[in-house]
Amino acid sequence: MALTSSIGTATEWRHPERFQPMRIPGRQRMARALDGLPWRVKPLVDPPAGSGLKPVMGSHGLPLLGHGLEYMFDGVGLSRTVYDRHGPVSWTRSLNMDMVMALGPDATQAIWVNADKAYSQRGWHEFIGPFFRRGLMLLDFDEHLLHRRIMQEAFTRSRLAAYMGRVDRHVATDLESWPRDGMMYAYPTLKRLSLDIASAIFMGSVEDDERVRRAFTDSVRATTAAIRYPIPGTRWQRGVEGRRILEEFFRTRLPAKRAADSDDLFAALCHAQTDEGETFTDDDVVNHMIFLMMAAHDTSTITTSSALAALAAHPDWQERAREESMALDGELSLDALESLSTLDPVIKEALRLVAPVPSMPRMTVKDTELLGHYIPSGTLVSLSPWFNHYMPEFWTEPERFDPERFAEPRREDKRHRYSWVPFGGGAHKCIGMYFGTNEVKILLHHLLRRFRWTTPPGYEVPWDLIALPMPADGLPLTLSAL
């Protein structure tokens, strides 16, 4: 049974036998075997005569799947192989689509700076467009700037302070029902909690609706389906149905939010306007809510899971962070959160080790060049934050958990402006990055005050990369109440 067949009910950790994690054995072995096949290398297209530009070299890989399986099994390892073989710009085929791989911080910078406005968010449409259409991340240029300006009103510091107070109270209450001792599957439990938090903060109430939880998961998992047509029983069809459920869910609640004077994000989007009086339509509000709810709970769940696994493997860091949290009593404010200085590099390192969004696609809307290579209009281009985070050119022993790399005087994240990019960059840098980071901090703070946790000796998280990263085994933790 796939992990996402169970989102994590309130009783799931009490009955771990109900949870059957997905196993992916020998993933790196399989990736190396596929990479060892004699793929035919050729240019994507020939550059225009006299342009002085180089062709982008690469290969098709397997029929239909291309190199998709290799990147799914060992994305960072295969990206490194491609980088060493072809340099920072190459091409590959995945899900029956040719795409240029833009690897390394120089390529990332060129795309995010986007000096000639050649790179469009339309690249996302190929993957998440049918399920998260017209979310902020999918909009371009002037339209994107307009929507971002309106939405920014929902993420001011005063609103963040109010949000965080509610997150603090919600987490403290939820943890009262956790088991005091014993094993639990952390990922599905955290996913349920994070979606409840997103619902409470963004909608003003917790919507205990299993259909909605399932709809979000099905929509995300459908984005990388090999069969991209709504055939009954396929991931794509479940994603289409998930989108329908989410639209219905938000539309039925929209009139009340239009009339409300509450301080949740749903109401804020209904009433937000620019100085010129520009506002969101009903369709805009529904589209943004679906996207923001997905992004908020998925990314925080991934980062918290990564941090929990790392702190279990490194009890010295767990105790160091716990000492600060134990010294901080009372309700958390933004200022109090900022005083938890040990958790800052821990969370940054968790984001480096497991980028919540491992790759970010773009589509060229005109002919352009990337680091001296010719990229024609209409080309799908994928950049990889996760690969940047593991480059030994910028990170000392990149496979190792080492939060000190973010502290003075080392500051390895400053070796290149685009070597650590978990929140994206440029005009589309994540609008909710401070909300998400502080939510993770609150979760870890309360867990540190209530529990010690461990994983089996030598345990490594088997990250499933079918869509966004998730522990294929649910991340089993053994809790010991303090």
pLDDT at position 64: 66
pTM of the complete model: 0.85
pLDDT in tens, 436-469: 999 999 999 999 999 999 998 889 998 887 778 8
Q: State the Cα–Cα distance between residues 132 and 142, nearest whole angstrom.
A: 20
> Is residue 15 very low, low, confident or very high in pLDDT (cuts 50, 70, 90)?
very low
Report pLDDT digits (tens) over 45-97: 999 999 999 999 998 777 767 676 677 677 788 888 889 989 999 999 887 78
Asked if pLDDT for residue 7 goes beyond 50, the answer is no
On the question of pLDDT at 16 being above 80, the answer is no
- Label residue 2 by pLDDT band (50, 70, 90): very low
Percent of the chain exceeding pLDDT 70 equals 89
Q: What confidence tens digit (pLDDT) does each residue in 88-147 have?
A: 999 998 877 899 999 999 999 999 999 999 999 998 888 888 888 888 888 888 898 888
- What is the average pLDDT across 384-395? 95
